[in-house]
């Protein structure tokens, strides 16, 4: 199925707003929606928008101490300014947690090397910190927390992780963020070559791998199941 991204206003059409200005995240979410919502007629008519579509909207300060707290802050901030009864908001906060660095960069992943740092700058800083402080323990995991707010006080949450270890240099050109230095642990999915997934970074693996196994994909799958149940229940009411 294809989600509508038409900006034409339709007061009867439900809108799902993604609380992000990150084009990479928007693209990944749209791909995940198509994958997980493919057989779900109840939500085929959602119009997908992002915070970037609101020229006057400024993102809130992420003052939470956990991924879930920050996702909730972002969801509530965007939801509070939407002037429609048909609006739903999805917000996500995620990051990379390194065992040997006591979970850092964690909630600071996007700004690890500075407030306006790039993915490359963040990645190089992390590799340097791991080299200095924990060269023999390179275990890490991605963590994703997702919040959905909807009409009549609806609030859904889900979290999940993807475990792996860090390389010593950037490898691969796909993905974004820390993907070029993150090698995911083998999965139980027999459709994939376990030996291959042990040696390749997320930036080297094909896109379908992230759509199936990533922290964001798994968290989204959980919350979509809850959303499906909610929408199906309201149809029967």
Helices 215-236 and 23-36 pack at an angle, to 10 degrees, of: 50
Over residues 79-106, the pLDDT tens digits come to 999 977 889 999 999 999 999 999 999 9
**137 falls within a domain:** yes
**9 falls within a domain:** no
Per the structure block, which two tokens stand in for 66? 């956990």
**201 falls within a domain:** yes
Question: What DSSP string describes 202-220?
Answer: TTTS-HHHHHHHSHHHHHH
CATH of the domain at 40: 3.90.950.10
Instruction: List the 15-18 sheet strands across, edge first.
Output: 47-50, 15-18, 87-98, 139-150, 154-166, 182-184
**50 falls within a domain:** yes
Over residues 210-231, the pLDDT tens digits come to 888 999 999 999 998 888 888 7
**131 falls within a domain:** yes
Domain of 216, in residue numbers? 15-236
Judge contact between 179 and 171, C-beta under 8 A.
no
Cβ-proximal residues to 181 (8 Å cutoff; 6+ apart), any chain: 123, 126, 127, 166, 167, 169, 170, 171, 201
pTM above 0.85, yes or no: yes
Instruction: Please give the positions annotated as active site.
Output: 93
């Amino acid at each position: 199925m294809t989600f509508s991204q038409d900006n034409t206003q339709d007061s009867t059409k439900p809108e799902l707003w993604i609380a992000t200005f990150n084009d990479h995240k928007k693209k990944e979410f749209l791909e995940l929606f198509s994958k997980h919502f493919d057989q779900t007629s109840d939500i085929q008519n959602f119009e997908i928008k992002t915070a970037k579509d609101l020229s006057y909207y400024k993102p809130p300060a992420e003052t939470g101490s956990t991924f879930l707290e920050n996702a909730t802050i972002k969801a509530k901030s965007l939801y509070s300014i939407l002037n429609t009864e048909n609006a739903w908001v999805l917000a996500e906060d995620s990051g990379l947690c390194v065992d040997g660095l006591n979970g850092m960069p964690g909630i600071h992943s996007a700004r690890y090397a500075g407030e306006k740092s790039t993915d490359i700058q963040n990645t190089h800083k992390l590799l340097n910190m791991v080299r200095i402080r924990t060269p023999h323990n390179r275990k890490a995991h991605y963590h994703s927390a997702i919040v959905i707010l909807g009409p009549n006080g609806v609030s859904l949450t889900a979290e999940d992780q993807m475990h792996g270890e860090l390389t010593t240099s950037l490898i691969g050109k796909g993905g974004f963020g820390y993907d070029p230095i993150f090698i995911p642990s083998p999965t139980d999915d027999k459709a994939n070559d376990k030996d291959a997934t042990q040696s390749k970074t997320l930036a080297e693996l094909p896109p379908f791998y992230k759509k199936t196994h990533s922290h964001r994909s798994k968290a989204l799958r959980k919350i979509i199941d809850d959303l499906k149940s909610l929408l199906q229940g309201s149809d029967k009411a």
